[in-house]
Structure formats: structure tokens, C-alpha cells
Structure 1
Amino acid sequence: MEDAAKDYAAGFAAGVSTVIVGHPFDTVKVKLQTQNTEVNTVRYRNAAHCILLILKSEGLKGFYKGASSSFVGVALESSVLFGAYSQMRSALQGREGGEPELFSIVPAAAVGGACISMILCPTELVKCRLQVQVSGGGTSSVCAQRYDGPLDCLRKTIKTNGVKGVFRGGFSTMLRECTGNSFFFTTYEFSRHRMLRALECLDDVNSETHSWKRYLRGQSHSKIMMEGAVDTLSGGLAGMVFWAVVFPFDVAKTRIQTALDPGSSRNPFHNLRMIHGELGMRGLYAGLGPTLARAFPANAAAMVTWELTAKLLGVRRKEH
């Protein structure tokens, strides 16, 4: 029970670091995904143009719209995801360390993704609706609601559409999280394991004849730095793989959650067909650039924080 609490605490810390690093990129992504719709009539030439318009109309604070709901949502989400993943993987694999195993990683990641969908859906709905809203009144076009903050958005959504309204886009969120996290943790665990093994082998080769290797072996802080570099690369790569695989589901989710008509389709596959019919493949990947730009630093920060926090708490396994 104590180890489980530590797993969840490490995940919470990872979530906080994710928002700090990644939220500005996420704002740009949401703006691009909702451009040229009834909720956002602005048409952006590219991500750079979107960034310039945000800076011009709203300043730096415009990049952190909806961040307060993200801090709560992402921190809780990360706590549940990493905690559930760690506990289930440990139960399935039945031992610490050794070669990563797909049969334990994939189901553990998928279950973790399903668990967090119920947390992510309402917090992302609030975040997305605040992100497409511009300063000075209304949203980018004719939105019937003007939100004064996350709580006001939540209150008005429940008043207008009931409690079920805050779970709009839930199926799309679950598809994204179950699929994406299976790819994420598989990429992370295998790439981290291989890189750590490679460093270990490199350190063993002719170690007695290289003074710099003898020096590094005696410096615990150097080992921590090398492991941190591995966690950075593995986490960043895993984050990019996550989004490259599931991005169309995220586009559909964003459209569903920011739609002005509460009666519009919530079926992600129907929305994907509509988007493809209107904009082609380009529409299915609108905002992918800033998302991938965000994915590497945000997920690198998350995984470094996760590994370091868990190690400080004494719960992270040795993989090599």
C-alpha cells in the first residue's frame, strides 16, 4: 500500500511538470484544430502565424488559458496513470527489472489510459473551450457563452447541458488514451532499457584503461545525469510516438468538445469522416506540428520527474 501511494505521488509530480512545459504548445494546437469553424472563424496560415496572433491579441498569458484546469486535471491524470500502470505492470510481470515485456506493458498502459479518461474528458473540455475563447468578449465567433474562468465554464456547461455535458467527447478521449498510452509506455520502456544497457556495456569496455571512465564510475552525480539524459530522450521519443499515432482522435475530440450545437455528433469516426471530407488528410493532422514540438519537452520533463521522484521515494525499479 505504501509503495502504491508513492507511485501515485510520483505520477502527480510528473503531471505538474508536464503542464508547466507543455501548455503553451497545447493552446496553439487547440487553436489550429478549431480554426475555420463556428467556434473559431480565424484562419491561420501555420503554427507560427497562430503564435503571432496570440501574442498580438492576448500577450504571453494567452498561451496559458485554461492552465488552471490543466494543472488539476493533468496532475490527477498523471497520478492515476502512472500509479495504475506501475501497479498493474508489477502484478503482471511478477518481478522487478529484466527485459521489458509487452504482455505486461500494453495491458497495464491500456487500463491506465481507460482509468484516466474519466478525469481527462471534463478537464479537457473546459480547457479547450477556454482556449478557443478570445479576450474581449465571446469566443472567436458567435459562441453563445462567455466564460470567466474554468469554474464558470464548468457551471455554465452543467446548467446548459447537464452533468453529461462535461463528459462530451468521452469515447474519443478513451480511444486516444488507451491506444496512445500503449504505444507510449512500450516505446519508453524498451528505448530506456536499451539505452541503459548500451551505456552499461560502454562503461565496461576497457574500463581499466580509461581514466575518464574510472572517474565517472566513482561519481554518483554523473550516473544520475546519464540516467537523466536517457529518461529525457526516452520520454521525449515516447511522447512523439503517442501523438503521431493517435492525433486524428484528438482532432475529433477537440471538434466534439468545442461544438456549439449540443446535438451534434459525438461519434469520433463520423467526425473524422466529416473533417476528411472538408479538409482532407491535412485536416486530420491540423496542429500536429506544435503538438510534436510540445510532445518532446513536455514528456521528457514528465518522465525525468517521474523517475527522479520515484527514486527519491524509493520505489522505482532497476531496469538494467
Structure 2
Amino acid sequence: MSSALANGLAGAGGGIIAQIITYPLQTVNTRQQTERVAKKGGNLLVSDASARTQTHRGTLLQILQVIRSEGWGGLYSGLKPSLFGTAASQGIYYYFYQVFKNKAEAIAVSRKKKGVGDGTVGMLSWLVVAAIAGSLNVLLTIPIWVLVTRMQTHTQAEKKIMEGKREAILREASESGSTGPSTIQDKLAQLELIRPHPYGTLNAAKEVYCEAGIAGFWKGIIPTLIMVCNPSIQFMIYETSLKRLRAKRAVNRHGLKNVTSLEVFLLGAVAKLGATVSTYPLLVVKSRLQAKQEIGGNIALRYTGTLDAIIKMIRYEGLRGFYKGMSTKIVQSVFAASVLFMIKEELVKAYLVLAHGSRTLLSTLVK
């Protein structure tokens, strides 16, 4: 097994475990990102007072609210496609990352032999390697994440649609003045009996296709491709920090180069924190584009593309709209990245030990 394939499988395994552990936070964060609330003095029509309340409610309270209203299943909406997407995403990313990393290291060694450089891969090279791997990953896996976003925000979208219908009944009665109180109550009572229909992966796929055809599965591709800089920044920080740590270990009196699991965990956390803070606005735009567009029941809340989303968010919600749920995302992504890095490194080490043992056993048998 090649080192690239080993890293790909290890990355997939680490990603699945990290995703399962942090998925409830991811669900709540996606809902926070797609919630529309007008800035002070803005023209965005949000009559539902609970929308404002929910925006300012703490993450833990939002989790408890989801459990109360939807059960534990609400926190894990879209988990199955998400796990598949995580395995595919991490596997593809780490495979190509290792392939291009090996080439970058080989080029660096070749340049050193020619008297150019010190034989190590520079920061810019790490960025390029991570960017290429990330772009390939995005193009191949974004349809999965469109479905996951739809499934995570389905209940939220259904509630908004029901609120819009309730407001329409009350507005119609107010404007016409001909509908009696009993009739209004009957209509509202009938509305209350309607419950969100079952919503699985196939339902999400059909909905996306009916809305925008095949192109709908690549909604948010522009901000997602731009967000390739997130793992690029993350891996630049991680690889640079890891290289410096190993260099310090190499010059100490024991000459120890090994890095512990805890150190890998902390390096992964620092790297992901830096990447998340710098690219979070793009993540919000991506989630808005991939969520069901009827979520707000208002044309001002529907986006035709990336630029339209950015303009409307600035106009109606202000700059803080781009940072909704960032604290939740930082906790979720930093912890997930730390777990992923730690497990991945341990799996790669286990593979190297097994591979070395197999080669030793094979050579013994041959003799």
C-alpha cells in the first residue's frame, strides 16, 4: 500500500470518528448560519420574534431546544450522507494531498542537489499542495454536502414556510375584513395539524433536482472553491508548526524527533482555529446558498448566486450576518480537526508498524 493510500484511508477513518462526535454542533451551527434576522433599521421583514430570540440563544440551549421539539434525531439529521461525505472527502483530500506532498518534497530535494534551497518544502508550496488537493475534493464531493445542508435545515425551513402561511391567513383576514373569527381559527387549526413530511436523502435529492436540475447539486461551488484556502491555511500552519517542533526535537540532547498525540491534537486545534476565523464568512454564504431557498418566505431572503447573497446579506443584515454561529463553528471545527489529526497520525503510525513487521517477517521466511 502506498503512503498516499495509507494517508487517504487514515484521513477517512479519523474524519468519520470526528464527525460522529461533533455532528450535533455542526447541525446547530448550520441552522445558525441560515437564520435570517435584519440588522437594526434594516428593511428585511422578519415578523417572527422567535427568530431573533434564537439568534441570541446560546448553543447549548439551542441543542436542548432541538431535542425537545424534534428529539435526538433532529441533532443527527443528514448524518448518513454526512458520514459518507466525510469519508469520501477526507479520503480524497488526504490521498491527493499526500501525492502532491511527495512530489513537492521530491522537487525540494532535487533543488537542493542543484544547490538551490535547503531541501525542505516552503510555506508557499504547502499552500499550493493543499489548494490543489482541496479543489479536487470540492469538485468531487460538493453534491453530498448540498444534500447534508438541506437535511440539517429541513425542519427549520418547514417552520418558516408554516409561519409564512399563518401570516398570510391573518393578513388576508385583516385586509378583507369579511372572514369571521371562527373561520380564521379553523384555518389556523388546520395549519397546526400539518407536520413536516419525512425527509431522507432521496427526498433532499429530488427537491434539489426539481428546483435547479443537475446544476443544483453544485450550488455554492464558488464560495466552496474559494474556501479551499481554509484547509490550505490550516495545513500551512499545521505542517510549518510540526516541522519546527520536529526541528527543535532534533537538536535537543536526546535527538528525539517523535511528536506525541497530544501535541498533534494541539497543533491541529491551532491550525484549524486560524483557518476558521479567516474564512468563516464564506462558509455562511455557502450554507445560505445550499439551504432551501423558501426558508425565509421573502424574496429578500432568496439568493440567485454568490454575489446576490453577499449583497443582500450586507444590505439587510449587516456585516455581523457573515459571522452568525462562529463561536459554535470554532468549537466544532477545532475539536473535530484536532481529533482527526490525532487519529489520522496514529493510524498512519500503526500502518507503518504493520508494514515494517510484514516486511521483516517476509524477509525472514525468504531466508
Q: Could you tell me the TM-score, scaled by structure 1's length?
A: 0.81
> Could you tell me which residue of structure 1 aligns to residue 42 of structure 2?
none
Structure 1 spans left out of the alignment, 5+ residues: 206-216, 218-222, 316-320
> Could you tell me which residue of structure 2 aligns to residue 187 of structure 1?
237
1:35 aligns with 2:35: yes
For 1:202 and 1:196, locate their aligned partners in 2 and report how far apart those are by CA, in whole Å.
10
2:137 to 108, 116, 126: 116
1:128 aligns with 2:149: yes
Cα shift readout 1:249-284 (whole Å, capped 9, x = no counterpart)? 111111111142699545324322321222222111
1:91 to 95, 103, 122: 103
> Could you tell me which residue of structure 1 aligns to residue 161 of structure 2?
142
For 1:81 and 1:297, locate their aligned partners in 2 and report how far apart those are by CA, in whole Å.
19
1:257 to 283, 290, 306: 290
Matched-pair contact (CA < 8 Å) for 1:231–1:304: yes
> Could you tell me which residue of structure 1 aligns to residue 77 of structure 2?
65
Q: Tell me the amino acid that sits aligned with residue 232 of structure 1.
A: F
> Could you tell me which residue of structure 2 aligns to residue 47 of structure 1?
58
Matched-pair contact (CA < 8 Å) for 1:169–1:253: yes
For 1:151 and 1:203, locate their aligned partners in 2 and report how far apart those are by CA, in whole Å.
60
For 1:92 and 1:290, locate their aligned partners in 2 and report how far apart those are by CA, in whole Å.
35
For 2:252 and 2:307, locate their aligned partners in 1 and report how far apart those are by CA, in whole Å.
48
Matches within 5 A, 1:179-258: 179-199=229-249, 204=254, 227-258=260-291
For 2:272 and 2:198, locate their aligned partners in 1 and report how far apart those are by CA, in whole Å.
31
Structure 1 runs of 4+ with >6 Å offset: 37-41, 95-98
| 3-state SS of paired residue (2:154) | coil
Matched-pair contact (CA < 8 Å) for 1:100–1:193: no
For 1:81 and 1:129, locate their aligned partners in 2 and report how far apart those are by CA, in whole Å.
23
Matched-pair contact (CA < 8 Å) for 2:266–2:338: yes
Summarize the Cα distance change of 1:202–1:20 in structure 2 as closer, same or farther, 3 Å threshold.
farther
> Could you tell me which residue of structure 2 aligns to residue 151 of structure 1?
202
Summarize the Cα distance change of 1:3–1:279 in structure 2 as closer, same or farther, 3 Å threshold.
same
Matched-pair contact (CA < 8 Å) for 2:150–2:292: no
> Could you tell me which residue of structure 1 aligns to residue 216 of structure 2?
165
Structure 2 spans left out of the alignment, 5+ residues: 38-44, 110-117, 166-195, 354-367
State the shift of 1:147 in Å. Answer: 5.2
Q: Could you tell me the TM-score, scaled by structure 2's length?
A: 0.72
Summarize the Cα distance change of 1:276–1:46 in structure 2 as closer, same or farther, 3 Å threshold.
farther
Matched-pair contact (CA < 8 Å) for 1:14–1:303: yes
| 3-state SS of paired residue (1:113) | helix
| 3-state SS of paired residue (2:145) | helix
For 1:282 and 1:103, locate their aligned partners in 2 and report how far apart those are by CA, in whole Å.
31
Structure exhibiting the larger radius of gyration computed from Cα positions: 2
The number of equivalent residue pairs is 295
Cα shift readout 1:34-60 (whole Å, capped 9, x = no counterpart)? 113799973312333422321221233
> Could you tell me which residue of structure 1 aligns to residue 168 of structure 2?
none
> Could you tell me which residue of structure 2 aligns to residue 210 of structure 1?
none
